[in-house]
Structure 1
C-alpha cells in the first residue's frame, strides 16, 4: 500500500498536470492514444454528447504499449468508440505516431491530405498528461485554439479502477514523474511551449525521484 507521504506528493503532481479547461464545442475531438482505454471512452462520449462532429484517434505503438499490444493504439481506441455507437464515417485514424509531438504533427498532415481544416480542437488525454499535451499541441500547431480534457476521475479512483492492469499504481506515479520532467526539459528541445512549474510541485517531483519513482525519466 502507498504510504501517506508518497500519496501526498503524487496528488500534487496530479493536480498540476490538470489544465482544468471548461469544455466548449469544437470542430474536432483529437484523442491522444496510449495504454489507457478510458481515454477512448471519454473521447467517444464527448462525440456522442455533441461536442464536435469529428473524432480523431492518434497513436501507433509507444514506449509502453509496444510491450503490451501488437495492434496500434488508434485502431483499438477507434474500435471502442464504434462499439459505443460512434459512426465509423465520423472517425479518422492516425496510427503511425509514437509520441505526443508526432500525434499532433501526423494528425495535422492527415487532415491536410483529406482536405480538412478544423478550426478548433478538443484534445483528450490521460488525466496526468493534460498539461504536456496542451504544451505540445500549442508548439506544433499554435494557430489552432485547443482545450484539453481527460477522464473525469479523482486520483484515488483513477489508480484503483482505471489504470491498465499491467501497470501498478507505482508505475503510474513513475510515469507522472516522467511527464513533469518533460514539461521542464522539452521546451528547450523545441518540443513544447514553456509551462510554469511552481516550486512546491518541483520539490514534490524531486522527492518522488529520490524515493525511486524514476523509471520513466527522459535522458537529461
Structure 2
C-alpha cells in the first residue's frame, strides 16, 4: 500500500468513526459480521457494566455466507460466553442479512420478549459506525443510540485483522463501498442522511480510481 493510498483510506476511516462517548444503556446490540473483534468488544462492554443485556444480531451476510455455515450471531455469542457473559443475559437474532434487518429483526425480537429498551449501545466494525447509526435511526426512530467499535488505530486494525480471509485491500474496498451506501441509501429509504465533506468524497473517488471498487453497490 502506497503512502497516498494509506492517506486516502485513513480519511475514510476517520469519517466512518462517530467518536461517541459512552453512557450506560439498557442493552448492548452487537451487529455481527466477519469481524470477530466486534464480538469481543461487545462482551467487554457488558462485563464492564455498560448495560444489563447483550444482543447479537446476524445471520449470514454477503461476505460471511462464503466463509461460515452457521449464523454470525451464534458464533459471536459463543465468544461472549467464553469471555464470561452469562447465557441468561444474551439474546440472539440469527436471521438478518444486512444492517437494516439487524435493527428491524432485533426490534421484533424484543417485542416478542416484551422488553422495552430505550437506550442502546450499538457495537459494529470501526468503519461501519456511521452507517450503522444512520440505519438504526431510520429503522427505529425515537430510541437513543450510541455507536462504538473495537478501539484500534487504522494501522493496528489492518495489521492485526482477525479474519485471514480478508486482506487490508479488501477492508479498504469495503470502506469505499460503505461510503457509497451512505451517499445512496437515504434516497432508497434505508438510512437517514449523513453529510459527506468534500475531502472525504475526494478520497473515495481516488480510491475507486486506484481499483478499490470490489464492494460497490450495483444498484
1:165 maps to 164
The CA RMSD measured in Å over matched residues stands at: 0.5
Report the CA distance between 1:219 and its aligned residue: 1.6
Gaps of 5+ in 2: none
1:105 maps to 104
Q: Where do 4+ consecutive residues of structure 1 move more than 3 Å? A: none
- Counterparts of 1:1-220 in structure 2, within 5 Å, are 2-220=1-219
Gaps of 5+ in 1: none
Deviation per residue, 1:21-65 (Å, 9 max, x gap): 001000000000000000000000000000000000000000000
Structure-2-length-normalised TM-score: 0.99
Aligned residue pairs, count: 219
Query: Aligned partners of 1:219 and 1:162: how far apart in 2?
Result: 27
Report the CA distance between 1:186 and its aligned residue: 0.2
Query: Aligned partners of 1:152 and 1:87: how far apart in 2?
Result: 24
Report the CA distance between 1:163 and its aligned residue: 4.2
Report the CA distance between 1:162 and its aligned residue: 2.3
Report the CA distance between 1:164 and its aligned residue: 1.4
Give the secondary-structure state (helix, strand or coil) at the position aligned to 2:160: helix
Structure-1-length-normalised TM-score: 0.99
Query: Aligned partners of 1:216 and 1:146: how far apart in 2?
Result: 27
Query: Aligned partners of 1:164 and 1:147: how far apart in 2?
Result: 26
Query: Aligned partners of 1:211 and 1:63: how far apart in 2?
Result: 23
Deviation per residue, 1:149-196 (Å, 9 max, x gap): 000000000000024110000000000000000000000000000000
Query: Aligned partners of 2:98 and 2:212: how far apart in 1?
Result: 21
Give the secondary-structure state (helix, strand or coil) at the position aligned to 1:139: helix
